[in-house]
Amino acid sequence: MAIQKHVGKKIARLRRQKGISQEELGFDSGFHRTYISQVERGVTNPTIGSLKQIANALSVPCWKLVEPH
């Protein structure tokens, strides 16, 4: 699986566990909900800085978004 798809699935899983919508995650991280959707689907390749903002919004360390499981 491509790394961007893996990261996207991980973000989506963490977001659902937190019980928030893509729109809420977008607001909390400073991105538009369509960008969050693209990241979760693996359509776009987020920068390290973007991943950090998303991780902060999810209240997890950045490495959690790329860990294997």
Express each pLDDT in 6-60 by its tens digit.
999 999 999 999 999 999 999 999 999 999 999 999 999 999 999 999 999 999 9
Tokens of 58: 């999810």
pLDDT of amino acid 63: 95
pLDDT of amino acid 44: 94
For residue 68, name the pLDDT band (cuts at 50, 70, 90).
Answer: confident
Structurally, the chain folds into a number of domains equal to 1
The CATH number linked to 40 is 1.10.260.40
pLDDT of amino acid 33: 97
The whole domain housing 45 covers 3-65
Helix boundaries (H) for 1-69: 3-18, 22-29, 33-41, 48-58
Instruction: Record the pTM.
Output: 0.93
